[in-house]
Amino acid sequence: MEDSNVIENRILDALKKVKDPDLGRDIVSLGFVKELKYCDGIASFTIELTTPACPVKEQMKMEAQKVVLSIPGIKSANIKMTAQVRPSKAEQKEKMLPLVKNIVPVASGKGGVGKSTVSANLAIALSKLGAKVGLMDADVYGPSIPTIMGVNSQPRHVNNRMIPPESYGIKIMSMGFFIPKGDAVIWRGPMLHKAIEQFLSTVEWGELDYLIVDLPPGTGDVQLSLCQMIPLTGTAIVSTPQDVAMKIAEKAIIMFQKLRTPVLGFIENMSGFVCSGCGKREEIFGSGGARRYCEQNHIPFLGEIPLSTDICTTSDSGKPIVEAFPDSPAAASFINTAKNLAAQISIQNAGGVFDTKPEPIEISRISNNEIRIQWKDGHASIYTGQLLRRGCACAQCVDEQSGKPLLDPSSVSLDVHALSINPVGRYAYHISWSDGHTSGIYTFENLRKLCPCNECASKSTASAN
């Protein structure tokens, strides 16, 4: 009789033939295979995936069973499928929301595309698939999540923390809880920034696999504040099918790319209407605009949601369609989209797509007025405080309209030094200076251009040309 350890090694070798199609690697090297045992012709093991919403879960289980049963002497294979959502890694997130693994905003370039309805149904779909989910309504001007999710209770306050109400297993926070009926929010940027900060830092979100954030339309203060406060796992963009809507949605993509927030994919909402009487499909808002855009720009297409009366009425009634009619075609489209979104989050957390943009992995002081940055590509840059202070591109130092410098370089002293250096989302550092200047935000691209070495200067010149 062969030693069980020998057979277990054969099983592992066989399982290397099974690949996660999203991550592009075999399940053994990914560390998915757990608790492997062999006894009397029976192989038992667990496959631990990166999300309970994995769209190819059953496919991988069948493939694993097939390769194991092909090994001589193995009569049956007992396979248990589990999931452990991997978190995105970032220092800011660990400080502010250490128990929230992934923060995923749902955005749009314009209003009226059904973004809030999509956000709510995605949250419920992910929860039904086995994930722990929260839903943050950051659309402070038009907060509709409490209505869509049928929430009537208010957040509770315990020890200066807000306990969010729950609906359909989802923790929810919205400005709608704090606005009297018939009133409206009339705020400038600083107030919006403060509201988003409180929703992130003072709400008791607890342990979550996904925090879905319903953003207001456009590319304004709320989006910028969110990206600056905390590194986001990535964003999902919602648009209707017509080309004009896609052109506006593209502005949201450009904004997130500038802020180095990954675009996880596109969701095409109101994608065709099927008549309940005759069954004929009408492309009321055109057809396939989001899918075509994704193919042309190499962005994942997450799914298409039909234009449906049931989606509208269930949202108005406070019971979204994934909860109200889980077996309906419209609910199935949301569940499929949620699976694709979860897959893209897993890809992002596993390393994502190689990015040639400059990215620092460490910033440190080497003296009172010298700063060193170690870059992901292996290069290291050393800056004097004077060089960085002169290179500040904030509105006090550079005219926003013309791009002309407002700061006189000769006014910056040789001994100026940084008082504090803090990360800003995924794209920049905020530096406060000893001369009292506190509004400097240095993007990674700008820092690389300011690098005093010849190698970086030649790369910047080549990139500009």
In this prediction, residue 457 has a pLDDT band, given cuts at 50, 70 and 90, of: low
Given 51, 83, 115, the domain boundary residue is 83
**Same domain flag for 203 and 315:** yes
pLDDT at 195 over 70: yes
**Same domain flag for 75 and 103:** no
**Same domain flag for 211 and 99:** yes
Q: For position 352, what pLDDT does the model report?
A: 54
Q: The CATH number of the domain where 330 resides is what?
A: 3.40.50.300
Per the domain annotation, does 127 fall within a domain? Answer: yes
**Same domain flag for 283 and 391:** no
Per the domain annotation, does 334 fall within a domain? Answer: yes
pLDDT digits (tens, 9 = 90+) for 392-418: 998 899 987 778 899 999 999 999 999
pLDDT at 355 over 70: no
**Same domain flag for 304 and 365:** no
Q: For position 12, what pLDDT does the model report?
A: 95
Of 347, 336, 244, whose CA–CA distance to 290 is shortest?
Answer: 244
Q: The CATH number of the domain where 45 resides is what?
A: 3.30.300.130
pLDDT at 245 over 70: yes
pLDDT digits (tens, 9 = 90+) for 322-345: 999 999 999 999 999 999 999 999
Average pLDDT for the chain: 88
In this prediction, residue 55 has a pLDDT band, given cuts at 50, 70 and 90, of: confident
Enclosing domain of residue 46:
4-83
Per the domain annotation, does 277 fall within a domain? Answer: yes
**Same domain flag for 182 and 290:** yes
pLDDT digits (tens, 9 = 90+) for 83-136: 999 988 776 777 788 999 999 999 998 888 899 999 999 999 999 999 999 999
**Same domain flag for 60 and 129:** no
In the predicted model, what is the mean pLDDT of residues 15-34? 91
Per the domain annotation, does 431 fall within a domain? Answer: yes
Per the domain annotation, does 355 fall within a domain? Answer: no
Per the domain annotation, does 354 fall within a domain? Answer: no
Q: For position 422, what pLDDT does the model report?
A: 86
Q: For position 456, what pLDDT does the model report?
A: 61
**Same domain flag for 214 and 162:** yes
In the predicted model, what is the mean pLDDT of residues 302-326? 94
**Same domain flag for 156 and 229:** yes
**Same domain flag for 63 and 107:** no
In the predicted model, what is the mean pLDDT of residues 15-39? 92
User: In residues, how long is the chain?
Assistant: 465
Per the domain annotation, does 386 fall within a domain? Answer: yes
Three-state SS sequence of the chain: CCCHHHHHHHHHHHHCCCEECCCCEECCCCCCEEEEEEECCEEEEEEEECCCCCCCHHHHHHHHHHHHHCCCCCCEEEEEEEECCCCCCCHHHHHHCCCECCEEEEECCCCCCCHHHHHHHHHHHHHHCCCCEEEEECCCCCCCHHHHCCCCCCCEEECCEEECCEECCEEEEEHHHCCCCCCCCCCCHHHHHHHHHHHHHCECCCCECEEEEECCCCCCHHHHHHHHHCCCCCEEEEECCCHHHHHHHHHHHHHHHHCCCCEEEEEECCCCEECCCCCCEECCCCCCHHHHHHHHHCCCEEEECCCCHHHHHHHHCCCCHHHHCCCCHHHHHHHHHHHHHHHHHHHHHCCCCCCCCCCEEEEEEEECCEEEEEECCCCEEEEEHHHHHHCCCCCCCECCCCCCECCCHHHCCCCCCEEEEEEECCCEEEEEECCCCCCEEEEHHHHHHHCCCHHHHHHHHHHHC
Given 83, 103, 129, the domain boundary residue is 83
Q: Which of 42-46, 117-121, 354-358, 388-392 has the lowest mean pLDDT?
A: 354-358
In this prediction, residue 2 has a pLDDT band, given cuts at 50, 70 and 90, of: low
In the predicted model, what is the mean pLDDT of residues 138-165? 91
In the predicted model, what is the mean pLDDT of residues 372-379? 87
pLDDT at 459 over 60: no
Bridge-based pairing of strands 428-433 and 440-443 is antiparallel
In this prediction, residue 439 has a pLDDT band, given cuts at 50, 70 and 90, of: confident
Q: What is the pTM of this model?
A: 0.80
In this prediction, residue 454 has a pLDDT band, given cuts at 50, 70 and 90, of: low
Per the domain annotation, does 10 fall within a domain? Answer: yes
Q: Residue 115 in contact with residue 305, Cβ under 8 Å?
A: no
Instruction: Give me Rg for the CA atoms of the chain.
Output: 25
Q: For position 321, what pLDDT does the model report?
A: 97
Q: Which residue has the higher pLDDT, 288 or 171?
A: 171
In the predicted model, what is the mean pLDDT of residues 310-333? 95
Q: Which of 42-56, 229-243, 344-358 has the lowest mean pLDDT?
A: 344-358
Counting the structural domains of the chain, the total is 3
In the predicted model, what is the mean pLDDT of residues 369-375? 92
Given 83, 115, 133, the domain boundary residue is 83
**Same domain flag for 311 and 235:** yes
In the predicted model, what is the mean pLDDT of residues 209-236? 90
**Same domain flag for 306 and 454:** no
